Amino acid sequence: MDAAMEAGTLRTDYRLADNLTAPSGQVFLSGTQALVRLVLEQARRDRAAGLGTAGFVSGYRGSPLGMVDQAMWKAAPLLDAAGVRFLPAINEELAATAVLGTQQVEGDPQRTVDAVFSLWYGKGPGVDRAGDALKHGNAYGSSPHGGVLVVAGDDHGCVSSSMSHQSDFAMQAWSMPVLAPADVAEYLEFGLYGWALSRYSGNWVGFTALSETVESAMTVDLDQVDARVACWQDADAIRRATGHVPPPDGLHYRWPDLPSPRIEQRLGAKLEAVRAFARVNSIDRMVVQADEARAGIVTCGKAHHDLMEVFRRLGISTQALADAGIRVYKLGLACPVEPTRLLAFARGLEEILVVEEKGPLVERQLQALFYNAPDGVRPAIAGKLGIDGRPLLPEREEMRPSRLMQPVADWLARLSRGLDRRELVPQFSEHPLLSNAADGIRRQPYFCPGCPHNTSTRVPEGSRAQAGIGCHFMASWMDRQTSGLIQMGGEGVDWVAHSRFTAAPHVFQNLGDGTYYHSGYLAIRQAVAARTNVTYKILCNDAVAMTGGQPVDGPLDVEAIARQVSAEGVARVALVSDRIDVHRGRHARFPSGTTFHPRESLDAVQRELREVPGVTVLLYEQTCAAELRRRRKVGRAPAPARHVFINEAVCEGCGDCSVQSNCLAVQPVETALGRKRQIDQASCNHDESCIKGFCPSFVTVEGAAPRHPVGHERGVAALRERAAALREPAPRLGPGPFDILVAGVGGTGVVTVGALIAMAAHLERRVASVLDFMGFAQKGGSVLSFVRLAQGRQWLNQARIDAQQADAVLACDLAVGASPDVLQTVAPRRTQIVANTHPTPVAEFQRNPDADLHADALLAKLRHATGSGGIDTLDAQALATAFLGDTVAANIVVLGFAWQKGLVPVSLAALTRAIELNGVAVDANLEALALGRLAAGDPLALTRLAAGEGRPDGLTLVAPEPAAMSATPLPQLVADRVALLTAYQDAAYAARYTALVEAVQAAENALGEAGRERRLTRAVAEQFARLMAYKDEYEVARLHSDPAFRQALRERFDGPLRLRFHLAPPLLSRPGKHGEPPRKIAFGAWLWPLMGWLAKGKRLRGTRFDPFGRTAERRLERQSIADYEARIRALLPALTEARLPIAVEIAQLPAKVRGFGHIKLAAHAVAAARAAELLHRFDAQRYPRPDSTHGANGAGQLRGIPIRQADAKADAKTARTGAPH
């Protein structure tokens, strides 16, 4: 069967395990998986050669090698069977030292194996940290039948590192040869080559794993790898061919080998052996040969594919290059370059262009090689600098085809008129983007819902903290008084010196438990030795969450850490824990003087510790929320027994729950009465810190579970039946690449969507690649999955989708989809976009309750980029919730929609099989796929289903849009508010409201055309009702006892409803001694009938018999109503067209006065200051300019809580209590 016929035939027998076990054929393999297969393959080849070797893998996780240990653990049965030991180390240098030990085995008379081949791995900063160990290891060498591969994870773009990194220069300095694989397929070939080279030369061999290769996956032809490896010659053949003779004392590890210059001399001899090996067994390739060439290009690593993609886009074939007298040579051995082949390549050339990643490693070697060469073999060398000495190719950023395009096009045009394609360059370059109100919207990484760091990274007022390596570093861009950047293990040591030259007496230093075990305990030892005033907050989260939830590399618990730091001499140890009860009977296991505290005491404990001279340690214990969620899913942790629910009718939308919890599961919900809050049950991790928000809207539900919609099973059956009847879209995949960019939010399955598409293509025997960029994104930031599909490997060069190259964009999140990184891939009239318009809040919402996603402006950016007709939209979360019961599979809904639109060119059978192979929530994902298909292919049928056909619950299809709510006709708005106020109090109370609205409407009518939109009337209608319906004890009781609230609970939960109300009654709760808000008390369901009784007491509201009416808060609310009414009536006689906008702004001020207690009082202070400014602008003669210190003397207390009256320009958050909550 030829390739064209074979493509599209489904591999029905393919299994995910084939990527590690298939002996031949094509497999779909990621860079990380390739490292696992590599050690298995080396073990197999050694056995076939009659060698009794063992394998050894050690290193330390870190992006882009953050998942190596996970992959090794997952493959443990295969590794054990192959005799490969995996031992992750506690840090990189100790891992390198352990690897050195494996090379001693071959000389051990008591050895149990013939030799050990080893693989060390670590990210770029780990290479630096382990430099001394790696340098020593390379100097002492490998064993003849062992060998060492040093895998360096380089993050050239600083996507998930403290700084960008390039390790090959360090390896060159250690006289360590460096291999530069260009893609995942070369990981297998070059890895095997590295061990063969190590065994021959005695060197440890470097291996660069760039983010764009190791974090990608692609179709790999195992037969092609085997064919290349089979060509390599053995040691005797190499010596015969090159005449290479090792020194008398050999090249490999031996003892004794005492320190002397002989070690350095032997390093030189090892490099000669490398060159001899490479002369015979070359992984360099002549890509374009030209007999009468004048110029040549030397490429290295991934940059080779970038260059070949430039040629493809410019329409320049290899034959065209040869005809123009241009050779192309690809290096696999980046250092030292093998000179014999390069000299032959350069014969007759006048100029060589070197194309390589980052710094000029190869370029400098070529300059040295050719500097003293004879005439005719001394070409000019260009690369990072042109032959004119000016900058030419990128050196300080990632290499991409779009960044090579212009300089390469200019270089080709200078050499050959027939290769001048400069007019095509703008088609492949970054283009201007639309600038509008959404420019500042960014999907910034954030702590997961329920993350311990939401609480643990807080510091008391007047203190500051220093950041460290770990997820908690994200506190640096939150309102946490946290700053600083230091290498892993150096946490707090910068303060040791800084503290000598500042008046600041103390800092808190955040330190993750993984970093503590890695090297951080040495920093504490240094601080103790220097007698520094610092509190180390050791964040004990039971997992290394930033790289995938791995366990800390050794026995570590709070008891052990407490004993260790106490032995180091710290002045005080305190434990703050969410399971403090567990430790009550274990105090004897801790060092004497340790104190024990619940999470609620964190602020008080920190205030104590900062006053203690010397080094103190605060152990904060709470399991990582993401890891706890994983454990619950696999049954290793109990399912949560209760759920938090917000009564939206009671909620004021003040955002204090977000301030207290910093939790992304607390989300906005737009209602007819404005923006409120709700708990996203699908993402909630049950930390429950949100309950501390000073608000009576919170209840907890015990003994019940979130429910699917009524009739879910029947609805899903009807859904799949309708979807099965849809016509399949016409195939769109030609021979060339089809590029799909999936963009969304970390932790929602974006990577899964990309993996499913790529696997489906692989199952159809097509060629596919996928590259995932996450960084901190698993924490709710941006995730991009680049999926590239083609009929043949020659069409897929780089894994990243470059500028203006996307055929389809699946914008699973609007903010990420409209980000510059995504929009630059969009080409007008080519790219088709599917955009999920669901308004998922960004991190800014945690700080600003009025944050606007600017959804319309984000959509405008997408439309501008793709052109007319290039975008389809849907609300995937609304669809998923309505038909599937939750939002977990929303991104699969987007996938189904895009597939039905013809934007995912794989068969439905292949995509279905890929979902089955994935093995996670198979039925739910197939249902979501069908739902998305139906939304795209037959929305009318979907509407009928949503309206109730086959669905007895009759759930609505989509949530109402905020714009639709604000467009409620004014008469209807007034009628709704009259009904609300009548229920709130009585008809007479509502009549007072109506009288003011009618007076405003009459005044606005008198303005003629200027008042036609009734903006002032609408503002008064909304805000006067808000003031009048203030939520006192009677109203809160009425809303909690309202049957609508019970119905809302029943719609969302299955099982018996055992409720607890979380309230702070003035008579039962008191503020903390540092001005903290009163602690809320949980009341059982017995309170529900009492609330119904209390609600009837509304007749007492405002009378002298009102027991609650004399509090400062109630007096303020009543006065605010009178003041607002008087102020609006006073404005009406002076209302003009010019003054109308100011009057509207004055009328809207109550919208900012939200919340309860001290929250409301602080917001009122801000509004009062703003009102004074606006009134002066409205009529300067009648309203004097407010004093610049207005509000400064308004500080006071409410129930003992200090209140600052903020400047009018400050937002409500800055006006909250002086003490942290």
User: CA 521 to CA 523: how far, in whole Å?
Assistant: 5
Contact in structure between 542 and 627 (CB atoms under 8 Å):
yes
Q: State which CATH number among 3.40.920.10, 1.25.40.420, 3.40.50.300, 2.60.120.10 fits the domain covering 712-952.
A: 3.40.920.10
- Write phi, then psi, for 1198 (nearest 5 degrees): -125, 115
Residue range 603-641, pLDDT digits in tens:
999 999 999 999 999 999 999 888 888 888 888 888 888
Distance CA 545, CA 625 (A): 9
Residues 475 and 453: their CA atoms lie apart, in Å, by 8
Q: What is the pLDDT of residues 1056-1096, one digit of tens each?
A: 889 999 999 877 777 766 667 888 999 998 998 999 999 99
Residues 110/118, Cβ–Cβ less than 8 Å: no
- For residue 1198, give the 3-state DSSP assignment: strand
- For residue 505, which amino acid is it? P
Query: In this structure, what are the phi and psi dihedrals at residue 682, rounded to the nearest 5 degrees?
Result: -70, -35
pLDDT of residue 949 exceeding 70: no
Residue 598's SS3 state is strand
Tell me yes or no: is domain 453-623 CATH 3.30.465.10.
Answer: no
The answer to whether residue 1200 scores a pLDDT higher than 80 is: no
Q: Are 819 and 915 in contact (CB under 8 A)?
A: no
Confidence of residue 7 (pLDDT cuts 50, 70, 90): low
Both tokens assigned to 373: 């060469």
Per the CB < 8 A criterion, the answer to whether 903 and 811 are in contact is no
pLDDT for position 945:
79
- Rounded CA-CA distance 942/957 in Å is 8
Mean pLDDT of 892-921: 96
Strand ranges in 805-867 using DSSP code E only, listed in sequence order: 808-811, 832-836
Q: For all residues of the chain together, what is the average pLDDT?
A: 90
Indicate the pLDDT class of residue 549, thresholds 50, 70 and 90.
low
- Are residues 342 and 195 in contact, defined by beta-carbon separation less than 8 angstroms? no
Q: CB–CB of 270/203 below 8 Å?
A: yes
Q: Looking at per-residue confidence, does 753 or 1010 come out higher? A: 753
Res. 166: pLDDT tops 80: yes
Exposed, middle or buried: residue 112 (CB in 10 Å: 0-12, 13-18, 19+)? Answer: exposed
SS3 state at 893: helix
Exposed / middle / buried, residue 875 (Cβ in 10 Å: 0-12, 13-18, 19+) = buried
When pLDDT is averaged across residues 341-361 and rounded to a whole number, the result is: 96
User: Is the peptide bond prior to 256 cis by the omega test (within 30 degrees of 0)?
Assistant: yes
Res 1211 pLDDT > 70: no
Residue 930 β-bridge partners = none
Cα 59 from Cα 148, distance rounded (Å): 12
Q: CB of 929 within 8 A of CB of 919?
A: no
**Hey, what are 338's tokens?**
């093998």
| DSSP assignment letter at 841 | P
pLDDT of residue 647 exceeding 50: yes
The Cα–Cα gap between 859 and 870 comes to 12
Would 453-623 and 638-706 be classified into the same CATH topology?
Answer: no
Cα-based angle 99, 100, 102 (whole degrees, multiple of 5): 65
> What is the Cα–Cα distance from 547 to 778, expressed in whole angstroms?
9
Residue type, 257: D
Residues in a beta bridge with 869: none
pLDDT band at 139 (very low <50, low <70, confident <90, very high): very high
Place of tokens 């949560």: 640
Alpha carbons 616 and 570: distance in angstroms, whole number: 6
Instruction: Tell the residue number behind the tokens 């640096």, with chain if given.
Output: 476
Q: What is the pLDDT of residue 1127?
A: 96
Structure tokens that stand for 685 in this block: 């991790």
494: which DSSP letter?
H
The β-bridge partners of 573 are 617
At residue 730 the predicted structure's pLDDT band, cuts being 50, 70 and 90, is confident
Mean pLDDT of 332-358: 96
- Is pTM, for the whole model, over 0.75? yes
Distances from the Cα of 821 to the Cα of 740, 753, 786, angstroms:
14, 19, 12
Q: Does domain 638-706 have CATH number 3.30.1950.10?
A: no
**Predicted confidence (pLDDT) per residue in 890-900, tens digit:** 999 999 999 99
- Residue 836, strand partner residues: 874
Residue 940 above 80 pLDDT? yes
Report H helices in 103-180. Answer: 124-129, 131-140, 168-173
pLDDT for position 1219: 28
Stated as kind and residue range, the H or E segment containing 790 is strand 782-790
Q: What average pLDDT does the segment 406-426 reach? A: 95
As a whole number of Å, the end-to-end CA separation of the chain is 71
Overall average pLDDT of the 926-951 stretch: 83
Give the integer Cα–Cα distance in Å for 972 and 963: 16
Quote the CA–CA distance of 932 and 880 in Å, as a whole number. 9
pLDDT digits (tens, 9 = 90+) for 834-865: 999 998 888 888 888 888 889 999 999 999 99
H/E run at residue 466: strand 465-466
| Average pLDDT over every residue of 717-735 | 85
Q: What percent of the chain has pLDDT over 90?
A: 73
Pairing of strands 216-221, 26-30: antiparallel
Distance of CA 110 to the CA centre of its chain: 49
Listing DSSP states for 1154-1178 in one string gives: -SSTHHHHHHHHHHHHHHHHHHHHH
Q: Please report, for the chain, the start and end positions of each structural domain, with discontinuous segments joined by +.
A: 25-279, 284-428, 453-623, 638-706, 712-952, 965-1215
Other Cβ atoms closer than 10 A to 794: 12
Out of 76-90, 520-534, 1003-1017, least confident range: 1003-1017
User: What integer pLDDT is reported at residue 1207 of this predicted model?
Assistant: 38
What's the pLDDT score for residue 923? 92
CA 256 – CA 1141 distance, rounded (Å): 89
pLDDT tens figures, 739-773 = 999 999 988 899 999 999 999 999 999 999 999 98
- Enter the tokens of residue 440: 């500042």
Distance separating alpha carbons of residues 430 and 1141, to the nearest angstrom: 41
Q: What is the pLDDT of residue 1074?
A: 67
Residue 229 pLDDT exceeds 50: yes
- pLDDT, residue 263, reads 86
1058: which strand partners?
702
R_g (Cα) of the chain, nearest Å: 34
Q: Alpha-carbon distance 201 to 271, whole Å?
A: 7
pLDDT range class, residue 552, cuts 50, 70, 90: low
CB-based contact 1167:1153 (threshold 8 Å): yes
**Model pLDDT, residue 264:** 87
Q: Looking at residue 518, what DSSP letter applies?
A: I
CATH class (in words) of the domain with range 284-428: alpha beta
Instruction: Give the 3-state secondary structure of residue 1184.
Output: coil
Compute CA distances 1192 → 1195, 1201, 1203, 1208, whole Å: 7, 17, 11, 10
Q: Give domain 25-279's CATH superfamily.
A: Thiamin diphosphate (ThDP)-binding fold, Pyr/PP domains (3.40.50.970)
Q: What is the pLDDT of residue 344?
A: 94
Mean pLDDT throughout 170-181?
98
Show the tokens assigned to 67: 């998942």
φ, ψ (nearest 5 deg) of residue 537: -95, 100
CB atoms closer than 10 angstroms to residue 73: 13
